[in-house]
Structures are given as structure tokens and as C-alpha cells.
Structure 1
Amino acid sequence: MRIKSIISMIILLKIVIFGIITNCVQCEHSNVNNIESLDYSSRRRQFSRAVSSKNNEDPATLFEKLPAVARLVTAIAIINGFSDGSIPADPVIAEFFNVDTAILQQLEKFNKASVDKFVESLNSAAIDSNEDTLKVEQAMINIHEVKMAWKKIGSLSNIPAKSTLDPLSTIASWDLSVLKSFDLISTLHLIDSESPSVLDLKKKLETLTSAVKKLPTPKKMKPFIDLLKKWTPFDQFADIVGLHLGYSSILSYPLTNSKFDSNANAVNNITAVEKSSIILMKDVAVAPFSPANRSFTAGFANGFSDIEKLTSDSKDRWLHSLLEPSVPLSGVKTLTNFGSELRKLDDKWRPVTTENHYHTMKKMSALQNHLEKTMTSKKIKATVDRIKDNCGTGDAEDGLTRKIREGVDNAALLLKTLKAIEFISNTLTNNVVNDFKKLSSNSNSSEIQKIGTMLRSFTRSLKLIEDLQQHLQDRVKGALELKFFHDTKIPSLIAHFNCLKNRPDDTEKIASTVRSIRILRKLKADSSYINNFNEMSSVLSGSSQFIVSLRKTVEEYKKDNSSEVIILKKLNALKDLSKPFGDAIGALVSIKKASSGSELGTFVTNGEYTQEMVPRLGTAELKTQFEKYWGDFEATKQQVDMFRADARYWEKSISIEKNSKLSAYGQMFKDLADFKSIDLELENRLEATEGFNDNKLNPEITQLVAEFRDSLMKLSKLDLDFSRYKSALNIMPDVLKSVDGGFKGKRIALPVIGGGNVSTTTEFAIVVDTNSTLVCTVTVLIIGSILGIIAFLWCWRDQNCIYHKLRRRYAKPTYNMQTAREPEPNTPKPAASHSDPEPRDLWREENNLHSIP
């Protein structure tokens, strides 16, 4: 019986120990599992509107204080890195000014005299702008572009038969006006209101669904979509035919334009300059308008100006309450010495980092690239003559080119619109419509917001359908012009293109020569370009001394043995957290700036007006340029609209109690990971609106385009490529725990998912969440108490338990209890009882080895 009790006790102990270990492991990982189990939409994250509470932190406070945490983390990382030499000076300096590290080395070699000679030769070059000269220039560029484009296509085959286009006439009879009854704008305003009327919303959604049911079904549209897709590849051929028309007439006559000759010779006589010098000047000028990629300085979202905030950050009570650092943070203020030196260089460079300098240096850089591949007018003539003699001019006329272009453009528009109808129909499935019907006053905000997100995705599609229905018959008629791909002149054109493609002539140098002429013409049209260039060269020639001073300042950190700096080494665990944490904070700062400022709205408004007015008031050449580079502005508008809506919903969803730990902020960051980037198409749209400052143009269009370009440049200073922060935002729940632990000097290496702007592995400090620790502790105490009770009961029943042995030996009985084994009270005790027991007898007794009488 005794042996069975012992075995049972051992088994019970094993079960209890296993339970304790399992519970502690679950406590450690409970927060991570809770985060991973959250429900996400398959396409977009839905944010539930937070319940307003006095106990919640004000989001405005979070937007102010969390970047301060990032500043502290990065400052500590940089100071410790400077101190032990693991972080060199140049990469940090380069990141603060958003240039490559090699640029700092080029500053020391910058040759101002050589650059000055270069700009003098530019200024002295005479460039003619006669209309006939411009035509010849365009023809020379077109020859090269046709050759390269045809090489890319290879051939023109599998042209669908004319008869395949006949069914398109059916589309002209479709009624697409049914969608007029649905007002998207008012519906979105209703959804975005503080307390949207569900009844009104259901009526609007019912209007939409009933209208969509009247549109052609996806099944009905499929044959037309498949047909139009077959003609899609011929869009490039239409471009080539249009380019060919631009030079065919030039090839028909000898190239005897003396003004073109003088222009070509002028660019060939420009004094050469080291390419590295121009690259240096360009990189400094464009730095403020380019996305930043930071490895060491990620926590300084606003650049080096954030360093000036470190002193107040280190004293902030809210931050101290949040972080509970194990050491004083006052040592971070020593980085202000480095910041002061950075400020001196910034003061030097700031006057030459304006929009005017940006445009000047972009042109200068492009000019330098083309000047490396120029050709004299004599060689250009010889090359063009060889092409004409061997390949002819190709048989084409303006009418054929226009009809092919018209057919391709209208077919593409029809295809886009049919796909738009298909997209809306496929999105409004029966399940979605049923969800609309189920809406009630009890529906939560996330359900309504989800509908808003879906409707915003219809914006561009509804615009396409609205525009097409107004001119449906004309578009269908225009698409039927694709039949001209079977014109008898097409084979002659193809033969010419094939010959040109196989010619060894260096048409690239011809094109580079002409592009050099064009860029120089644009530069000379800007009266400030010489001044901009000279200012830039003067500023850079005197900048190397500032770099030397910055490097010396960094070296001083290695010698700094002050207690406040040395004590920061105890927080060295934060060093590897600076980048992932800083990247996520950078995304937060960018999103908040973009959503709260007026820049996006101004950009959209100016863009819409520009898109409307340029075709009406611009010259033919400017219209062509605009159409070539402008892109799909409706798509950009939709990106902006979706972003602003997501930002509003996200901010309303933030619900974090006051005095929470840093780890409580993880979800608000993870929600940002699904924000979509906004593609401004900066370079293309600057190119599209180049040249509208001509005094000959209508002042209205000149002012309008100038305002658009200004709003575009302002937006370029914001980092709107949120996708590159996705991985950093997704791991923020873990990173925040690690930062919290890092301020207490704890760290552990954890793997990080690669991608975006975050490295593939990072050292993380980690600390167990307070709530998890409490749960684990209480559980262990309960199990321990139960175990103690069981042990006591087991011991109470067993007379051989140590408790009973000690009681029998030391306890003094208050009364006599006779048993069959005890002697009578008057019976004399054996003599041995008057002496202490032998040690051997005690050992036998303790081990239950005494003899049974």
C-alpha cells in the first residue's frame, strides 16, 4: 500500500510539473497568437471604429510621442555605434542628406574650374529653333525610335480578319446610361459621415444593384472582350506607323538644312566635363525630392532636424512612464554636437536644393549623358543617306496613319470599359447583395466601411462607363477602323521596318545628338539656368571642409568616457532595432502627413484642371507631348481617394488605453501594412507638362500647369511608397516588445521576414508582457497550493510520514493513551530508555528499517 502511494505521488507530481511548464509557455506566446488570429480581409484590412473613451490615449498624442521613441532608439544606436566604431561616419552623413556615400568622396575631388568651363561652352553654343529645323530633329529621333520599337516587336503577324470586327456593331445598341441613377459621390459622403443613415444607404445600394442588373452580363460581354484583346498587340504598330510618318517626308529629299547642321556641330564642340561632377551636382539638387532609404538613421523620420528634439525627449515624463528605461537617457543629448555640424552643411546646401535647381540639374545630367554619344552633321547625313538608299522611305500617308491610330485607340477604350462593367458585375455577387440587404441599425462601422472601400474601387470604372455611354456609337465606329490593318500599303511599311531593323547604322548617336540639341534649347530658354548652375558649383566647391568636420566629430565619440554616454552601452540591445522600428515609424509619419495636409487635394484638383485644359489651349506639339507622358490620372485619383479613406478609418479605429505598455501599440502599426502606395508618376508628368511656360501660350494654361507642377513637387517630398514598409509594419508587434525589453537591457536574436525596407535578420530584445506574467504567476500559485494540500492529506494518512515521526519524537503528550503495545504506567522502563539512542538506531528508524516485534 505504501509503495502504491509513493508511485501515485510521483505520477501526480509529473502531471503537475508538465501543467506548469505548458502554462508558462502559453503565457509567453499568448500575445503573438492573439495577434496572428485576427481576422483580415482577403483584399484590404478593415478597421473597426473605436469606442470613444476618456481612458484611451488621444491619437494626436500617439502621433507625437511614438516618433520620439524612434528618435531615442536611433540616437542610442548611433551613439553606441560611433563609440565602438561599428557605425562609420560617412554612411550616416550621407543618409541625413539623402545622397549616396560615394558623393561625399566626390566632394573632395570636385573641380569647379572644369565645371565652369563646361557651362561657359553651353552658354556660348548657338541653337537655332526654326520650324523646319525642329521637323528635321524630330525626324532623326523617329528613325531611331522606329528601329528600336520594331526590333522589340519583331514582326507583324496573325492580324485578325476584317470580318471578326463586324460583331462590334452590336455594342452600339447597348444602354449604359442606367448607371446615371446611382450617385457614387453622395453615397461615399453618407458612408463617411459620423452616423450614417443605414436606411438611406440601403436605398442607394439598391439603386446600384438594380442598375448593374440591367447592364450586359459578363457572359454576354466575354466574346467582345476576347475579340478586342486580339487587337491589343497592334497598338505598338500604330505607334511605329505614326513615328514613321514623321520622317518619311524627310527621307524623300536630301538632308540640306544648314541650321540643323550648325546645331549638331554646336553640341559636338561643347567642352567636356567629368561625368562624376555633374552626377554630384544633380544628386544634391534632387535629394529633397527623392525617397529616402535609411539604414542607420531610420528613427529620424524628419531628417537631422529631429536630433534637436532629443534633449526634450530624454526628459519627457510620458515617454519615461511608457519605456521605464533601466538607465538615464540624458546621454542622447550628446548627439546634438553631431547635429550642429549637420546643420552647418545643411545651411550651406539649402539655397541650392530648390525646385528651380532640381529642374536645371536634371536637364544638365541628361545633357551630359547624351553628349557622350554625339555625331557630327556630316556623319549624320551619310548615315541617313545609306538608310534611304537601302531601305527606301516606306509607303505611307497621313490618312492611313490616322485611321490605324483611331482604330487602336477606340478599341482600347472599348476594352477598358467592358472590363470595367465586368469588374463591377463580378464584384456585386449574390453574397454581396445579400450583405447589403442585411444592413441594419445594429450593423457595426467596419461593415459599412467595407462597403465604402468596395465602392471607391468602382470610381474609375464608373467614370469610364459614363464617358463611353455619351459617345458609344462614335467609339464603336472608330474601332471598326482597325480594318485598315489590311490596307495594301501595310506590307510596304513592314518591309521598310525590317530593313531598318537589320541595318548596322548607329542611329542611337543620331538620336543622342538631337536630344542634346533639344535639352540645350530648353536650358537656354530658362534665363536662370546659368545662375542655378553657378550657385550649385560654388556651394559644392566649399563643402568638403564640412564633411571633414563631421568626421572629426564622430571620432570624438570614441574618446567620450562620460558616465552618461558609457551608461547608454547597457542599452546596446536597441542598436539592431533602430531600422525596423524606425521604418515603421517613418511610414506612420508619412501617412499622417499625407492624410492631414492639403497637398494631396491640391494635387488632384490641379491635375484635373490640367488634364481638361491642355487639349483645349496647348499647341499641337505640347498636346502630343502631354498625351505621351501624362498617363492615367484617373487611376492616380483613385489611389489618392482610397488612401485618404483608409487613413480616416484607421485613425478612428485606434483604441489604446492610457498607461498601456509599448507592446499595446502593435496592432495600430500592423493595420498600416495594407495601405496602398500612391504613384505620382513624377518624372513622366514633369515631362508631360514641360514647356508650358512659353509666353506665346494662353496665360491661363501657363498658370494652371505651373500650379500643377508646384503641387507635384511638394508631394514628391512625402514618401508615398508605403509598400516598402510592409514587412516592417507587419512585425511591429514583436519589435515593440523587443524595444520595450531593449530599454531594460534585454535582447534575443529573432528571425525577421525579409522584404520592403527591412533587413532579413535583426537582433531583437524581448521581454514578457506584464499581463502574461501575472497570469502565469497566479496559475503556478494555484497549482502549488493544490499540490500542498494533496501532500498534506497523503502524509496525514501515512503514520510513517516524516510529520508523524517528528511529532512522536518531539511532541509532549498532555494525557496518557494506553495501547496493547504500550507498557502499563507503573511498569519500569528499560534502562536503555534513559540514554540517548545510538545514531545507527536513528538512521534505521528514519529509513523504516526497524524490526517488527
Structure 2
Amino acid sequence: MRIKSIISMIILLKIAIFGIVTTFVECDNFNVNNVESLDHSSRRQFARAVSSHNNEDPATLFKKLPAVARLITAIAIINGFSDGSIPADPVIAELLNIDTASLQQLEKFNKTSVDKFMESLGSAVIDSHPDTLKVEQAILDMSEVKMAWKNIGSLSNIPANDTLHSLLTIGSWDISGLKSFDLKSTLDMMVSESSTVSDVKKQLADLSSSVKKLAFLNTMKPIIELLEKWKPIKPFADIMELYLGAGALWYPPPKPKFTENAEAVNNISLYADKLNIFVMKEVVGSPYSQIIRNVTAGFANGISDIGMLTSDSKDQWLERLLKPSFPLSGVRTLTKHASEMKKLDDLWKPVTTESHFYTMRQVTELQQHLGNLLPQNGIETSLTTLKTCPSESFNAQLATNLKNGAVHALLLLKQVKALESISSVVNSKDFQKYSNSTNSSDIKIMGRLLLPLTQKFKLIQDSGSLQEHADGAQGLMNFRKASIQTLIDHLDCFKDNTTDMDKIASTARSAKILRKLTSDKAFANNFNDVSSAVSKSLPLLGPLRKMAEAYKNDSSSEISELKKLKVLQDLSKPFGDAVGALISIKKASSGADFETFVKNGEAAQKNVKSSGTPNQKIHFESQFGDFEETTQQIEMFLFDVNSWEKSIAVKKNSNLSAYGQMFADLAIFNSIDLKFEERLAATEGFDDTQIVTEFRESLLKLSKLDLEFSRYKSALTIMPDVLNSVGAGFKGKKLDLPVSGGGVNNVSTSTQFAIVGDPNSALKYTVTILIIGAVLGTIAFLWCWRDQNCIYHKLRRHYFKPNHNMKTAREVDPNSQKPVASQSEPETERFVKRRAQTLVKTQPKPVSKAEKIATKPKESVKVSPKDAKTNTESEETKAVEKKSELKVQAK
């Protein structure tokens, strides 16, 4: 019996285990409760072992989810037009990619005023005599000198010359291993499916070995601090170059010609029309900037998105996904709005070329300078004050030696900082942990640790040796020459006594721009094209506003049905922003445009260093910014995109909420700062250089993309909740979103995340667990029932023991062989129990004396009639009880 019980229990346990495994496999297929926690630099990890089997094609998601956003925004706009909560102007402005203020200013556009300004530009005569050009450039150089010296402030904290000797020890550092280390191939191995863990571990071991040859981090820190103190010498050396080139100011400028140019510039300023020019620039620049969309967030592509509403409202895939309780055909009425908007778009598109953009940019810059001019007679007075400042002839070789020393010191500083960054990463706990791991997923995580070091390795490998720069930095000792202090005194005097220098520079810059515009054959045509397009736009605004107003009186059934979906109005912005981020990331993820941008940017920097004038170099460096940082942002973005796309796993035919985590994972993407305006300004002096021109073209192309991903963090983080609300919203129900922590800065950067699946799987999971619990409970009960040593039987015998004084329903002679009367066993059992309980109450201890007698079978005991009767009853009761138990077991 015991063996059969064990075999039965084993079979039941196998069934239960199979049920548990099946449940968790099913849950995995639905992506439920698949939580992975990876702690690395507060960045979310995407290493998931997901299968593409039965998952939606990501290409389908990128196409269909924007359609959902379009439908929601269309419903929100129509309902907003109907109840007046959304005015027409914000919708029109956002679809044109300008702000509402610019649209309102467009209505005030005065073409007559603009034409007069154009006539004044065309009639201006600007002298181009070499002497005049020399004075103009000298004025611009001195303006740069003053600005640069003002930014430096003081050189009183420059260390003593003997501190430079400590830099010579850097030459003994062995960085040969780092110079030859191929980080790119190592990163490729980490993400490659064909690479083995041992191959990657060997590369990491080589890197670790190379870093161990470096100085300790506490040795690098004081060197970095010392070089930081010498850092201001580099811009000071640039000032010296400009100072030497401004010799034209030390003799009287050719008054007639320069004065004539100043007079011509002042005459044009009388016709300046800032507001009208500003509107023209906004129209031309609309494709090259991104605005915040408050009411049209779901129309990420502008006007063209409205034209897709007809097909969106009929899409069967969307119908299955959204399961709307009301027809969506009413959104098609908005396509009439699109046809009118397209008339505006057709007017603007021809004047948004790069040629028109540069024309209006130069005109706008001219407008700014025309508003900051010095009266004609004030220019000579201000320049005369320069002669009152102390000056003496300056040794050009001294300036060259000091600048060379400053350049070497700056490169040395960058190299030591790069070495410090590499050493910090390789010596970190994360690096030690993951580099010693044999888990392939851990090795892939190393990519996130090493990727930010790409530009650091490039700097070390492309620059000269540490010894070369340490020796070259000794040229900084020239700073202590006596003539340097004389120059510093002159610069202090110049800064304090030429308060109008910026206005004089505006005159020179205005003359320079005018000379360029009047020589450009395309200038006049471009300007007139833009002014004509803006002027023709005015009559088109009225019909657009009337169409929006018409919705207030529209009582058609289609619009009435959409009003039942008004709850979607509050979801248009967060859902549209999240989808907008998805679209922007997808557009930028090809990487081809980024690759061209980086290549052209690096080439432009080299070109400026090799062929730029001192003025061009200092202007370029002050505006261009840290291009290596931008390159690093691009590399990290492309890495994240690749990881994110591989992580997408949404089961086919899932509900809308299943896409929540896919969006939430995008919240880790950081913005890419192209420094669009600054870098365009930095390249303006190189119009005839093909390399710089190509860089500007690639910069303009990228500027059409929305790369400010950080501003979407809030919307992306709450997308799982938004999607639940959207699903309810299409059924006319409202689900309140949870209270968020606020803006972007409050977005959590926790590395823990869960994959959200079909909500129906949660019910399936719960029911399965209940079934398994019931099976296990049944197994436990049957096991215990068959085992007489189980606690159940022990307790039963202890608490339900029959009374020995009790009689059965029909007494049986113990010596008799006849069976017990034919009373059913259940009735006998119940009667015995009831009788025993009754007698126990009246006779508390009837058994004790009999038990004592039973324990002494060999002794001759005198039994009283009463005791004899009790013994007989006890034996009969035992016989009945035993027989009952045997029958129960047999059953």
C-alpha cells in the first residue's frame, strides 16, 4: 500500500511541475514579469533574450503607432475647435513650424517697407580700396582683442616658471599599449554574434595591462591642476597675434573712404525694418528648427500627416488594436483643413532652400549691426583714444614662442585628462566585475563602459608623444619676459577706454556684409522671392480660421460621435510627444548623415588651423565649441538605438498597453547638441572654402531632425500609463494618469525595468497559479489520508478516541462468532462518536481503572460485576471501531 501511494504521489507531482513550467513559459511568451536589473552608470540596459517568434515586426510598429497619434490629435483638435478650447492660430502656426507670435506678426507684414529697405541696400556704395579693407579688418581684430581680454580677466594667477619642470616626468609614462589598442574592434566584438567571450576577455586583459603601466590617478591629478592654471595663456597668445596684425590702427586711417562707408551704413539704417525681416527669416528657416507642439503633437511631420487621416480611419490593423466604441470617420473632415494648409506650404517650400536661408541670415545679421552704430563723427574720436595707451614695439618671435608653448601645454592637458578617464574606467569595480565574467551578456555591458572612451583613445593615438608636448610646454616660460607686462598694461588701458569699440566694429561688419550682398547675384532675387511668398500668405489665413470656427456649429453625426471621445484630448500631447521622439529617433538612426557631419566637421577644423587668419582662428574657436563632445553624443545615440531596436519584443495581436515599455525604454536617450547657430556663425568667414561649405551643408541637413530627445523624457516615462488611458479613451472612458514628478529633471534613471505584455496574460497567470495551488493541496490531502502516521490521523485518534464505557447500538458477545448486526457502517460510526461524547460528559474518567487492569494480564485480579461489565463494553467498542477503520481504508 505504501509503495502504491508513493508512486501515485510521484505521478501527481510530475503533473504539477509540468503545469508550473507551462505557465512560466506562457508568461514568458507574453513578456510578463520579465524583470532585469543591471546597474551601470544609471543607464538602462537592453540585454534581453527575446525571440522574434510571433512578435510584431518593428517596421510595422514604426508605421502604425504614428497613425494612432495622428488619430488622437485629430480627435482632440476637432473637439477643441467645436467647444472653442483650441483656437485656430496655434494649430496653423505649429503645422507651419513657427510659433504663434510669428504668425501674428506675419499678418502685419508690410511689403512696401521691405521693398524700400531693399532699394536702400541696392543703392549703397561701399568702398573696397585695400587701405579701407585693412582698416576694417584692424577694427574687427581689435574688437576681438577687447572681447578676448575681457573674457580672460586677469593673468595674476599664472604659476611660477619652475613649476613647468614637473611636467617633464610625464615623458616617462608608457602609453605605447594604449596607442596601439584598437578600441573600435573591441567594441565590435562585444556586440558581434560570432565573437567568443574568450576573444573579448583577451582584449580587455590587454587594455588592463596597458593601464597598469600608467601613473597612479593621484599622480595625474596635480599635473592636471597645474596645466589648468597655465590654460589662459593660449587665448592670451591668440590676442598677441591679433595685436601684431592690427598695425593699421597706429596711423591715421584713410578718412574719406572709411567715413564714406560709415555714412552709407548709417543711411541704410534709416530703412531698417526688424520685424518684417524677422518674419521673413522665420518663414525661410522653418524647416531648420523644431518648435514645441502643444496642440498638434501627433502631427510630427506637419501638414502631410493630416492628409493621412482618411486611410488611418479605415486601417484594419488600427481597428483591431484600438477597438473604438464609436466610429472615427469624422476625423476625415480635417483633411479639408489640410488642403488649405497645403496652399500655404506650396508658397513657402520654394523659398526654404539653403540659398534663401543664407541670404536671410546675412540680412538679419546686418539688421542687428545697423541697430548698434556709432555716429560718424564719434568713430575718429574713439579710435584716437588708442594712442593714449602705453605701447612699444613688440617682438613677433616672442609671441610665436609663447603660443607654441601654450599649444603644447593644452594638448598635454587633454592627453592627461584622457588618460585619467581611461584609467578610472579600467580600475573601476564595474570593469573588474564584467571583464572577469564568462557571461556573454555581461561582456556586452562592457560596451557601455568603454564607448565613452572612444574620443579619448582617438586623442591619444592622433596626438604626439607625451615627451614631445612636455618639452614643448616649456615655452610657456616666455610669459615672464618684461615686454609681456607692457602688453598687459596696454590691454587694460584699451579695455577701459574704448567703450564704443563694439559700435565701431558694427560699422565695419555692416560694410563687410553689404559688400558681400551687393556682389552676390542671387541676393536680390532670393530676397524678393521671400518677401513675395510672405505677402501672398496673408489672404490664406482667413479661410483657415473660418474652417476652424465652422466646427462650433457642426451637428453632424460624425462630429457628434467624436465628441464622445473628448477624453482623448488630454492625451494628445503626451502620446504625440512620445511618438514624435520615436519618429525622430528612427529618422536619425541610419547614421549616414551623422557620419558625413562628423567627417566634414573634423575636416573643417583642420582646414581652419592650417589656412585660417589669426582673426578667423580665434573667431572659429570661440564659436565652434567642443566638437569631440558632439561626436561622443552621436556615438552613444547610435549605440543606444541599436540596443533598443534589438530589445523590441511585442507579441502579435497584443493590446495597445503592450507597447508601453518599448516607449519607456527611449527615456534614456540624451539630446544631441549640434550647436547649429554657433557653428554656422563660426564658418561665416570661410565662404570660399569648399571643406567648410560642405560642413555647413551637412549641419543644415541634420538641423531638420528633432534631436532634443531629453525634452521627451517625461512623456516617454509615463507611456505605460498613457497607453492604458488611450485604450480606455477610445471607448469613451477616462483613466486619470498618475501624478508625475514633474519635468525632465525628475525622470527616474533607474536601471531596473520590466517588459510589459498583454494585460490578459495577468489573468491567465493568476488562474493558473490558483489551479496549481488546488492540485498541490489535493496531493497533500491524499498523501496524508493514505498514511496512518500523518498528523491528521494522529490528531483524529487523539481528539476523537471512543469512551470505553460506551455501548454500541447492538451489543455483541465477545465469544460469539456471529457478525455484527447489519447496520450500515457510517451510521454505526456516527452513533459511536455521539454516544462516546455524551458519556464522556457524564463520566469524566471511566477508562483509567480498566486500563490499569489491562496492563496486568498475569496477575489474578478480582473483578467486580460492575468492572466486568465495563470491560466487556470496552472490548466491544474497540472491535466495532477497528472494523470501521478497516472498511474506510478498504474504500
Class of the TM-score when normalised by the shorter of the 2 chains: 0.7 to 0.9
- Cα deviation for residue 474 of structure 1 reads 3.4
Quick check: 1:715 aligned with 2:710? no
Structure 2: how far apart are the matches of 1:35 and 1:199?
A: 29
Once the two structures are superposed, what CA deviation does each residue of 1:192-227 show, in whole Å capped at 9, x if it has no partner? 323332222122222211112122221222221121
- Cα deviation for residue 422 of structure 1 reads 0.7
Structure 2: how far apart are the matches of 1:127 and 1:374?
A: 16
Equivalent position amino acid for 1:374 in 2? L
After the TM superposition, which of the residue ranges 646-655 and 421-430 deviates more from structure 2? 421-430
SS in 1 for 2:86: coil
Structure 2: how far apart are the matches of 1:745 and 1:654?
A: 30
What RMSD in Å do the two structures reach over aligned CA positions?
Answer: 3.2
Maintained 8 Å contact 2:150/2:495: yes
Once the two structures are superposed, what CA deviation does each residue of 1:442-468 show, in whole Å capped at 9, x if it has no partner? 523xx2332122222111111121133
Maintained 8 Å contact 2:405/2:473: yes
2:452 to 445, 457, 467: 457
Residue aligning to 2:742: 754
Residue aligning to 2:264: 266
Instruction: Go from structure 1 to structure 2 and tell me whether the alpha carbon gap of 1:529 and 1:754 turns closer, same or farther (over 3 Å shift).
Output: farther
- Cα deviation for residue 228 of structure 1 reads 1.0
Maintained 8 Å contact 2:391/2:486: no
Once the two structures are superposed, what CA deviation does each residue of 1:617-665 show, in whole Å capped at 9, x if it has no partner? 6677656654554433333222222211211111001111112122221
After the TM superposition, which of the residue ranges 643-652 and 126-135 deviates more from structure 2? 126-135
SS in 2 for 1:602: helix
Residue aligning to 2:440: 443
Structure 2: how far apart are the matches of 1:631 and 1:73?
A: 41
Equivalent position amino acid for 1:734 in 2? D
Once the two structures are superposed, what CA deviation does each residue of 1:144-187 show, in whole Å capped at 9, x if it has no partner? 44444444544332221111111112223333222234212222
Structure 1: how far apart are the matches of 2:216 and 2:130?
A: 53
Equivalent position amino acid for 1:731 in 2? I
Quick check: 1:360 aligned with 2:354? no
After the TM superposition, which of the residue ranges 724-733 and 496-505 deviates more from structure 2? 496-505
- Cα deviation for residue 32 of structure 1 reads 15
Quick check: 1:126 aligned with 2:125? yes
Structure 2: how far apart are the matches of 1:418 and 1:505?
A: 41
Once the two structures are superposed, what CA deviation does each residue of 1:120-162 show, in whole Å capped at 9, x if it has no partner? 2112222334443333223223444444444454433222111
Equivalent position amino acid for 1:743 in 2? F
- Cα deviation for residue 295 of structure 1 reads 0.5
Structure 1: how far apart are the matches of 2:219 and 2:398?
A: 33
Residue aligning to 2:870: none
Maintained 8 Å contact 1:181/1:211: no
- Cα deviation for residue 67 of structure 1 reads 0.8
Once the two structures are superposed, what CA deviation does each residue of 1:736-779 show, in whole Å capped at 9, x if it has no partner? 112112112222254233324999xxxxxxxx954556778999
Equivalent position amino acid for 2:102 in 1? I
Structure 2: how far apart are the matches of 1:490 and 1:618?
A: 25
Quick check: 1:204 aligned with 2:199? no
Quick check: 1:571 aligned with 2:575? no
Residue aligning to 1:109: 108
2:731 to 737, 741, 744: 744
Instruction: Go from structure 1 to structure 2 and tell me whether the alpha carbon gap of 1:614 and 1:379 turns closer, same or farther (over 3 Å shift).
Output: closer
Maintained 8 Å contact 2:418/2:460: yes
Instruction: Go from structure 1 to structure 2 and tell me whether the alpha carbon gap of 1:543 and 1:657 turns closer, same or farther (over 3 Å shift).
Output: same
Structure 2: how far apart are the matches of 1:485 and 1:650?
A: 53
Structure 2: how far apart are the matches of 1:775 and 1:451?
A: 35
Maintained 8 Å contact 1:293/1:757: no
After the TM superposition, which of the residue ranges 72-81 and 219-228 deviates more from structure 2? 219-228
Equivalent position amino acid for 1:350 in 2? K
Structure 2: how far apart are the matches of 1:749 and 1:624?
A: 52
Maintained 8 Å contact 2:201/2:436: no
SS in 1 for 2:677: helix
Gaps of 5+ in 2: 1-29, 748-757, 775-891
Structure 2: how far apart are the matches of 1:430 and 1:251?
A: 57
Instruction: Go from structure 1 to structure 2 and tell me whether the alpha carbon gap of 1:430 and 1:254 turns closer, same or farther (over 3 Å shift).
Output: closer
Structure 2: how far apart are the matches of 1:329 and 1:484?
A: 78
Equivalent position amino acid for 2:733 in 1? K
- Cα deviation for residue 406 of structure 1 reads 2.7
Instruction: Go from structure 1 to structure 2 and tell me whether the alpha carbon gap of 1:195 and 1:566 turns closer, same or farther (over 3 Å shift).
Output: farther
Residue aligning to 2:349: 350
Structure 2: how far apart are the matches of 1:525 and 1:43?
A: 55
Q: What are the residue-to-residue correspondences of 1:334-483 with 2, within 5 Å?
A: 334-389=333-388, 391-393=389-391, 396-429=394-427, 431-440=429-438, 442-444=439-441, 447-468=442-463, 470-483=464-477
Maintained 8 Å contact 2:190/2:443: yes
Aligned pairs, number = 739
Residue aligning to 1:172: 171
Structure 2: how far apart are the matches of 1:722 and 1:405?
A: 40
Instruction: Go from structure 1 to structure 2 and tell me whether the alpha carbon gap of 1:609 and 1:408 turns closer, same or farther (over 3 Å shift).
Output: closer
Residue aligning to 1:182: 181
Structure 2: how far apart are the matches of 1:375 and 1:387?
A: 17
Structure 1: how far apart are the matches of 2:766 and 2:408?
A: 69
Quick check: 1:531 aligned with 2:525? yes
Structure 2: how far apart are the matches of 1:404 and 1:366?
A: 35
SS in 2 for 1:42: coil
- Cα deviation for residue 357 of structure 1 reads 1.1
Residue aligning to 2:721: 734
Maintained 8 Å contact 2:272/2:370: no
Maintained 8 Å contact 2:139/2:249: no
Residue aligning to 2:214: 215
Equivalent position amino acid for 2:710 in 1? S
Structure 2: how far apart are the matches of 1:36 and 1:744?
A: 31
Once the two structures are superposed, what CA deviation does each residue of 1:826-846 show, in whole Å capped at 9, x if it has no partner? xxxxxxxxxxxxxxxxxxxxx
Q: What are the residue-to-residue correspondences of 1:651-666 with 2, within 5 Å?
A: 651-666=645-660
- Cα deviation for residue 35 of structure 1 reads 9.8
Instruction: Go from structure 1 to structure 2 and tell me whether the alpha carbon gap of 1:352 and 1:201 turns closer, same or farther (over 3 Å shift).
Output: same
Equivalent position amino acid for 2:244 in 1? L
Structure 2: how far apart are the matches of 1:481 and 1:145?
A: 25
Percentage identity across paired residues of the two chains? 55
Once the two structures are superposed, what CA deviation does each residue of 1:345-385 show, in whole Å capped at 9, x if it has no partner? 10011111111111111111111011012124432111111
**TM-score of the pair, normalised by structure 2:** 0.77
Maintained 8 Å contact 1:67/1:299: yes
- Cα deviation for residue 430 of structure 1 reads 5.8
Q: What are the residue-to-residue correspondences of 1:607-626 with 2, within 5 Å?
A: 607-613=601-607, 615-616=609-610, 626=620
SS in 2 for 1:543: helix
Residue aligning to 1:641: 635
- Cα deviation for residue 268 of structure 1 reads 1.3
Equivalent position amino acid for 1:443 in 2? S
* Greater Rg over alpha carbons, structure: 2
Maintained 8 Å contact 1:395/1:489: no
Q: What are the residue-to-residue correspondences of 1:52-71 with 2, within 5 Å?
A: 52-71=51-70
Maintained 8 Å contact 1:245/1:397: no
Structure 2: how far apart are the matches of 1:454 and 1:526?
A: 51
Equivalent position amino acid for 1:449 in 2? K
After the TM superposition, which of the residue ranges 184-193 and 534-543 deviates more from structure 2? 184-193
Maintained 8 Å contact 1:325/1:744: yes
Instruction: Go from structure 1 to structure 2 and tell me whether the alpha carbon gap of 1:209 and 1:82 turns closer, same or farther (over 3 Å shift).
Output: same
- Cα deviation for residue 484 of structure 1 reads 2.3
- Cα deviation for residue 497 of structure 1 reads 2.9
Instruction: Go from structure 1 to structure 2 and tell me whether the alpha carbon gap of 1:311 and 1:276 turns closer, same or farther (over 3 Å shift).
Output: same
Instruction: Go from structure 1 to structure 2 and tell me whether the alpha carbon gap of 1:689 and 1:274 turns closer, same or farther (over 3 Å shift).
Output: closer
Maintained 8 Å contact 1:728/1:757: no
Maintained 8 Å contact 1:49/1:649: no
Structure 2: how far apart are the matches of 1:503 and 1:32?
A: 72
Gaps of 5+ in 1: 1-30, 695-700, 760-767, 785-853
- Cα deviation for residue 528 of structure 1 reads 0.9
